[in-house]
Amino acid sequence: MNLKLRQITGTFVLGIGLLTACVAAPAPTATPAGQPAQRVTAEPIPLKVGALPFLSNAILQIAQEEGYFAEQGLKVELVPLQSPNDALPLLVKGELDIATTALTAGLFNVVANGGNVKLVLPLTSFAAQDCASIGILARRSDIDAGRFAAPAQWKAAKVTLPSASVQSTDGYVLDQALHRGGLTLQNVTITPADLPVQADALASGQTDLVYAVEPWVTRMAGNPALALLMPLEPFAPGLTASLIAFGAKPLATPAIGERFAVAYLKAVRQYTQGKTPRNVELVAAYTKLDKALVEKICWPVLPQDGNLNTDSIMAYQAWLKGQNVLDRTLAASEFSDKHFAEAANQILGKAKP
């Protein structure tokens, strides 16, 4: 089977149209555990929220279906997106109020050029677990022979990435792993490929290593000829790889953003209870994955306190600067705002470990 290549792209151009919205919003409220949700009686505030078809984005489905948004007086419309790059132009133009996105050079460049967008809440955060939500897979025969056992052995290897851009967080994490072995991205041959063909490409020898994310880690590891070589989370500890970004409406009226943050963190706290029957049901409904697979895959870590690890984002931005794809380097205050998570935590109280 031929490996299906996609053209590597690093940046995209956006026409920036700024939108200002002033909407009155009552103060956020919280419902004590074990009590019925106390819904706000004022007219619900409409919000358009862009969501990607990824496991981590199922948190929005939890907040929606469990009534956490409604409890905060928000009427949320989840707008399906196909790519992280789809969110930014829609946020800047005001066609979306909030969206999930990934860290990209394009995001920093949009903000640098006046786009009214701020990163406010984390989705996935790289943390070591007893499973791998992101990992490197190899042929079982190579693993048994001791090939590729450490990054130092990856020199001249053919590595497949799921992303179309080497400047993505995928490229960054791979580069961090290679550095542990005294190598760089220039020491391997990288070929992006669509996720469904990666297993066949690896099994047939068209590639040596595959950078995979769930549910593809579990799916590929189910092939007797393939196996997980190593998890990748330890190579970029604490990296906030996917995030929630606010556009003009919640930024102009912070009470709206605070309400969203309260609902979001309530959903995160439910999510971190683990693979309960209700959580599995909601995640399966959102991702359209079989429940048995949802129960088997490694769920990514979502910080319960909503703390945005800006140090990890700054480190990634510095790496992008070295790739010569940034218009300029931004201060953390230019691209992020931790106020919303802090306000939500004051309302909800400290999360239980």
Alpha-carbon span 172 to 339, nearest angstrom: 28
Rounded to two decimals, what is the model's pTM?
A: 0.86
pLDDT above 70 coverage of the chain, percent: 87
Q: Calculate the average pLDDT of the chain.
A: 88
Residue 33's pLDDT is what?
44
User: Where do the structural domains in the chain lie, given as residue ranges?
Assistant: 45-125+239-348, 134-235
Q: How confident is the model at residue 259 (pLDDT cuts 50, 70, 90)?
A: very high
Contacts of 16 (CB under 8 A, 6+ apart): 92, 110, 113, 114, 115
Which of the pair, 13 or 212, is modelled with greater confidence? 212
DSSP letters along 70-116, please? HHTTEEEEEEE-SSHHHHHHHHHHTS-SEEEEE--HHHHHHHHTT--
99 exposure class (CB count in 10 Å sphere: 0-12, 13-18, 19+)? buried
Residue 188, classed as helix, strand or coil, is: coil
- Structurally, at CATH architecture level, domain 134-235 sits in 3-Layer(aba) Sandwich (3.40)
pLDDT in tens, 146-157: 999 999 999 999
CATH number of 45-125+239-348: 3.40.190.10
